[in-house]
Structure 1
Amino acid sequence: MSVRHRLIHATPEAVFEVLADGWLFASWVVGSARIRDVSDAWPAPGAEIHHSFGSWPVVIDDTTSSVEWDAPRHAKFVARGWPIGEAVVIIDVKRHKDGCVVRMEEFASKGPGLVVPKPLMAIALNIRNTEALQRLAWLAEGRAGR
């Protein structure tokens, strides 16, 4: 499991504008290579982003589903990347005098990721999710500056 926090110099609404734009998913999710389609209902619960991850020529097509959406406070997603497995990603945002604090939690929920020793999984996810939050910050702060 990974839990990362980041102060973002933008409003919670600006952060959720980025999350609500499924076509930006590959811009902030580390490992996502491209977006193939976004459900018209995204980010409503049950809607999906059809993405690919990996590096060409080894690219895997799969989906991420919205499970909970309470903008601009909370979102929960299920990210799939079979045969690697599935993960739950929870994003919580709280106002801060300098913008907002974003908390990102991720844990394996199905597949081989469940048998990886937790300390090893945490190291990999912490590195990846620290970078994902940096990318999310750039996008949200860029929107806030417009």
Structure 2
Amino acid sequence: MPLLFVEIDNCFESAQVLAAKIDKDTRFCQRKVNDVDGKERPMWRPRWWVPDGRHGDQPHPPLLLVFNRVGPRNPNTVIAQLAELTQRHWQGAAHDGFHMYDGRLPIMVTGMKQLLEHGSAGAIFRRFGRPQARPAA
């Protein structure tokens, strides 16, 4: 199974606090180490598997944010602000009719209620930069 980072948010943290966490996640994904063959690789890659991009790019493992509406913050407002604050981490670069996501952190969002109602196979995951929710696979 590919690596997936998961963050559960109970709607107490602001978009700015969540964006700072995503900054840290991105820095973690960029850390390099020497693998057993002596080649430098991202630190997480020798331990966990993530498929390479379709065009030779190497995206970071996806981050799934699950919003559990317990606290006072509106997750829809937080998600919109968070997408804007973290755009530099997830947005691909246009390249001859497709987008390259080399070194980018795919960020997906969903709600705990949707996850409980539809399960992990439901069309409930919205990736930042995409217009609608889709199944995870």
TM-score, structure 1 as length reference: 0.28
Structure scoring higher RCO (CA < 8 A, sep ≥ 6) equals 1
More strand by share: 1
TM-score, structure 2 as length reference: 0.29
More helix by share: 1
